[in-house]
Amino acid sequence: MQDPDHIILRALLQAGDNFVSGSQLAERLGISRVGIWARLDKLKAEGFEFEAVRNKGYRLLQEPPQLHGKFLEAAVAEVYGSINLRFLDAIDSTNSEAERLLALGESTPLVIVSGQQTKGRGRMGRQWHSPPQGNLYASFAWRPGLPYPRMQNITVWLGVCVCQYLREQWQIPAGLKWPNDILIHGKKVAGMLTEARIDADQTRELVFGIGVNIAGKTKDWPQEVAAVASSLEAHLPGRADMHTLAAGIIGTVLNAYSVFRHGDISTELVKQWQECDLLYEKIITAEVNGKPITGQAVGLHPSGGLRLQLPTGNQVILHSGEVHIGTA
């Protein structure tokens, strides 16, 4: 049975600027109109603002400044449909929680979202700064059952799809720095981390984590983070719609995985990468197995690897490593 708050919030979300009848909500939930008012009053204490007009009903005026689990579920249901989504106020790491739930046999696809991470992690074992409010910390878990070589370009594919969503739906000039960073005007707004459990012949479990700074304030960040990072809201004309943006990103990842799972995305990946590629024709240095390799980035290989043109004229395909613009 769906949570009554979820039903109320989804009805208000669907109504947009229109009113939702209190009588209809009461009838749908099998409670009194006073019961509806009491639930709305509780939601007001959680950061929502509503307008109530006699003989019209209620409409939503303002959502909380931080992600609200039930409202996020309602927003995701609008763009994608029902999904196994777990929302937590705080967790050590959404990727770690996804791995724990997979080990317990939780059904997939599974989405873990948290308002804060105490031990968020990025690539190369780095810590991911994960303060409360303003950000999306989400991990997606699947059991692909596909050969490992088939999964090599999954991170880049999901990143391209999120980047295109921001560009097309929000006119945000997002770009990708291979292999897992989304930047705007040279500053990072999102990072991705994919972790997999691989058997001898297949990818048994896959966890894709993404951290997106939607509306975090640079004044609240450590100095070293504020120097290199930005937010989506900084590139929007007004306040970021936290739940709509977060739900859109979640729906985009889920749809992108479905497309990946049921077909060959290699050609489309290379095509879409060209529109988001921040490294194209730049001289870069890649650290591979602790050794620097310098060359010119010349696009993406269908496998998801970065094509690097060396000064010798030879070309190599990078499938892992750290990339820096410029020479070592």
Phi and psi dihedrals of 250, rounded to 5?
Answer: -60, -45
**CA–CA gap between residue 112 and residue 324 (Å, rounded):** 31
Please state the CATH superfamily assignment of the domain spanning residues 69-276 in this structure.
Bira Bifunctional Protein; Domain 2 (3.30.930.10)
Q: Look at residue 124 in the predicted model and tell me its pLDDT.
A: 45
Q: What is the CATH number of domain 283-325?
A: 2.30.30.100
Q: Where are the domains of the chain?
A: 4-62, 69-276, 283-325
Q: Which amino acid belongs to residue 10? A: R
For residue 224, pLDDT beyond 90:
no
**Rg value, the chain, Cα:** 22
Compute the average pLDDT of residues 178-202: 92
pLDDT tens-digit series, residues 18-62: 999 999 999 999 999 999 999 999 999 999 999 999 999 999 999
Q: What pLDDT score was predicted for residue 121?
A: 63
Q: What digits encode the pLDDT tens for the residues 244-258?
A: 999 999 999 999 999
Would you give the end-to-end CA distance of the chain in angstroms? Answer: 58
Q: Give residue-wise pLDDT tens across range 287-311.
A: 877 788 999 999 999 999 999 999 9
Q: What is the mean pLDDT of the chain?
A: 91
Q: SS3 letters for 161-199?
A: HHHHHHHHHHCCCEEEECCCEEEECCEEEEEEEEEEEEC
> In the predicted model, is pLDDT for residue 196 greater than 90?
yes
Share of the chain above pLDDT 90, in %: 78
Measured CA to CA in angstroms, residue 322 lies from 124, 147, 176 at distances of 9, 25, 14
Write the CB contacts of 111 (distance below 8 Å, at least 6 apart in sequence). Answer: 76, 83, 84, 85, 86, 138, 139, 140, 141, 250, 254
CATH code that applies to domain 4-62: 1.10.10.10
The yes-or-no verdict on residue 127 having pLDDT over 90 is: no
What digits encode the pLDDT tens for the residues 56-70?
A: 999 999 999 889 999
